Amino acid sequence: MPTYTLTVGTGDGYMTGYYGLVPAAPGFWSAMGSVSPSGSAVDTFFWAPDGSGVSIVATTPGGDLSVIWNGQTYTLTDNLDGTAAYNDVGLGGPYPTSGTTAFDSDAASGGGGITLVASRGSFELTGSPVTFVRNRTIFAETGVFTLTGNDIGFGGGYRATISVGNFSGITYGYQSGTFGSIAWSGSPPPNPPTAISWTSSGFSVQMAAPVPGDVALNGQTYTLAGSDGSYSYSAAGKGGPYPTSGTIDILFTPGGSGYVLSAGAGSFALTGGDVGFVFPGLEPVTPAIAVTMRPGGGPVAPVSYEVGHRLAGAADWSVRSLAAVTGTLFLPGYTAGQSVELRARAASVSGAWSDWSAVTTHVVGTFDPMIRDVATFAATWTGTVWHYAWALEVGPVSVEPAGIKIRHRLGAGLGWDDLDDLHTGLLTVAPWDLSAPPATPGTHTFGACAVTAAGTYGTPVLVTVSV
C-alpha cells in the first residue's frame, strides 16, 4: 500500500476551523493542502483539530477503499458514483494544524496507467503497484508491466492533444469546424473523430467519428458505435477532469481491434495465456434527473448530503446520498413529463444533520438539451440534378448536430416518418446536389432534419415541390 505525505493546509471561508487537504470551491473556500507523490486518488482529507470529525473522499473505479492514518484504518465506502468516502469522528490522533502528516492508501488514481477488459480466462499482472477491481478491469499506476496470457496482440492507437474550445460556454472540447482544435502526434488516423466534447460537470460527453472505435480520455475508454459512417458516444462522462480551457490528451483506436489498451507513461508487454480482450460495447444511456449540491450560507461546512425524491403526491420518500462537499448525483427511474418532488439536507463533519429543505417540484425533461434544428430547407430541380440547400438555426443551444438527414417520397400530405432516406450517413456541407430521386412528374415531398452524434433527431422541415 503506497505511502503519501500530506502537507497540512488551513481552511478559510466555510472551511474555517478545519485542516488538511481540500480542493477549491470558488465562492465558498480556497484550496488547502497538498499530497506527494502524485498518484493518490484521495483529493479531500480534512479534520477538526480535536478529532470530532474527519472527512476523506477518493475517486474509485468501484469498491470500498482504505486509508491508514495514525495507525488507524479508515474504510471509505463506495458511493456508487465514482467516489468512496469516510465522514465520521477521528479514530486516533494526532490531528495536526500545520506541518505534514503521512497516510497509506490503496486508492491510487492510476496516473494514466492501463485499463484492460477481459472476456474470458485468467491473467497475471506483474510490475508496479496495481489494484484489481470490479468487472475484470485492472487499474494500474504508470510503470513497467508484464501481462501473461494466451494469443494476445499489442496494438497502439493514435495519440492527440485537444486545445479546448467552447460553444456558448456550455460545451467544451473539440468539434470539427466549430470550436477547439486537435493536433495528432505523428500521422493522423485515416478517419479521425469529428467531435470530442463535454460539459464542465461531465453530465454529458459527446463523441463522433466516421468509423467505429474507442477514445481514451482521462484513463477511461469511450466506445463509438453506430452505422452508415456515423459512430458516436453520448452519455455521462466516466471520469474527470472536464477542462474548460487549456489542453487535454486523448488516444483514438479505430474499431475492430478487439482489445482496449490505454497507456500513459511506461513500457508494456503482452505474452502467452488464455485471454481474449473485447470492447465493453456501447453503454446504455439512462435518463436521470441531475441534482447539484453545494454549501448554503450557514456557518458550518457540510461534508455530505441526502436528497429525498418522490413522484408528486406520493406518500413515501426515496433517499440518495452524496458524500462530497459539492457535487452532482443522478436520480434515474423517472420519465419525461412527470412531476417529481425534491428536498435535501446536509451533514457536518461531526455527523449532525440539518433540517430538510423546503420541497421543490421539478417537471422531468424541462431542461433537456436543445438541438440546433434546421431553420430553412429547399429542394430545387435544375433540369439535371436536385439542388438541396438548408440553413441551421442561430442562437445558443445545448447540442450541436453531427449533420443533416434528407428524406423524400413522391406524393403530398406526407409526414417525416412516411419519407425514405435519400442517402446514408449524414450531410455536413450545404448545398448538396444529387440526381436522386427521379424527376417523376407530380408532387414530391422532401424533408430535412438535424441529427446529433448520438442519433437523436431534431424537428424536421418539410417542403413540397411540383415537377
Please name every residue paired with 342 in a beta bridge, in sequence order, or none if there are none: 309, 360
Mean pLDDT to the nearest integer, 129-149? 35
pLDDT in tens, 183-227: 987 778 878 899 999 988 888 888 888 888 888 888 777 888 876
More confident residue, 422 or 219: 422
pLDDT band at 304 (very low <50, low <70, confident <90, very high): confident
Residue 353: pLDDT above 50? yes
Mean pLDDT to the nearest integer, 401-418? 91
What pLDDT, on the 0 to 100 scale, is given for residue 325? 66
Q: How many CB atoms lie within 10 A of CB 20?
A: 25
Residue 8: pLDDT above 50? yes
What pLDDT, on the 0 to 100 scale, is given for residue 344? 92
Q: Is the C-alpha dihedral spanning 394, 396, 398, 400 positive or negative?
A: positive
What pLDDT, on the 0 to 100 scale, is given for residue 2? 76
Residue 249: pLDDT above 80? yes
Spatial contact of 379 and 387, defined as CB atoms under 8 Å apart: yes
Residue 21: pLDDT above 90? yes
Phi-psi region of 41 (alpha: psi -120 to 50; beta: other; left: phi over 0): alpha
Spatial contact of 462 and 390, defined as CB atoms under 8 Å apart: no
Strands (E), 79-157: 83-88, 100-105, 115-120, 124-127, 130-133, 137-140, 143-148
Q: What is the DSSP string of 233-280?
A: EEE--SS----SSSEEEEEEEETTS-------SEEEEEESSS-EE---
Give CA–CA dist 64/58, Å, rounded.
10
Q: What are phi and psi of 416, to 5 degrees?
A: -55, -45
What pLDDT, on the 0 to 100 scale, is given for residue 147? 43
One-letter amino acid for residue 101 of the chain: T
Residue 45: pLDDT above 90? yes
What pLDDT, on the 0 to 100 scale, is given for residue 416? 92
More confident residue, 231 or 366: 231
* Residue matched to cell numbers 438548408: 390
Residue 238: pLDDT above 50? yes
What pLDDT, on the 0 to 100 scale, is given for residue 310? 94
Give CA–CA dist 3/105, Å, rounded.
7
Average pLDDT value over all residues in the chain: 76
What pLDDT, on the 0 to 100 scale, is given for residue 49? 92
DSSP at 354: P
223: cell is 466506445
* Residue matched to cell numbers 417523376: 440
Mean pLDDT to the nearest integer, 438-466? 89
What pLDDT, on the 0 to 100 scale, is given for residue 61? 53
Residue 278: pLDDT above 60? no
Residue 350: pLDDT above 80? no
Give CA–CA dist 435/186, Å, rounded.
40
One-letter amino acid for residue 41 of the chain: A
pLDDT in tens, 66-116: 889 998 989 887 766 567 788 888 999 899 999 999 998 865 443 233 334
What pLDDT, on the 0 to 100 scale, is given for residue 260? 35
More confident residue, 59 or 15: 15
Residues 6+ apart with CB under 8 A from 187: none
What pLDDT, on the 0 to 100 scale, is given for residue 408? 93
pTM confidence score: 0.37
Tell me the HSE value of 75 on the side-chain side, using a 13 A CA sphere.
4
276: cell is 481474449
Least confident of 262-276, 334-348, 377-391: 262-276
* Residue matched to cell numbers 424537428: 459
Residues 6+ apart with CB under 8 A from 230: 208, 210, 402, 403, 425, 426, 451, 453, 455
Max Cα separation, the chain?
Answer: 89
Spatial contact of 251 and 262, defined as CB atoms under 8 Å apart: yes
What pLDDT, on the 0 to 100 scale, is given for residue 62? 53
16: closest CA among 46, 52, 43? 46
Length reported for the chain: 467
Highest mean pLDDT out of 116-125, 158-167, 287-296, 347-356: 158-167
Spatial contact of 70 and 309, defined as CB atoms under 8 Å apart: no
Residue 51: pLDDT above 50? yes
What pLDDT, on the 0 to 100 scale, is given for residue 309? 94
Q: What are phi and psi of 417, to 5 degrees?
A: -70, -15
Please name every residue paired with 309 in a beta bridge, in sequence order, or none if there are none: 318, 342
Residue 13: pLDDT above 60? yes
More confident residue, 255 or 176: 176
Least confident of 329-338, 382-391, 431-440: 329-338
Residue 270: pLDDT above 90? no
Give CA–CA dist 123/105, Å, rounded.
25
- The share of the chain scoring above pLDDT 90, in percent, equals 26
Q: Is the C-alpha dihedral spanning 15, 19, 22, 24 positive or negative?
A: positive
pLDDT in tens, 140-165: 333 333 443 333 333 446 788 999 99
More confident residue, 209 or 9: 9
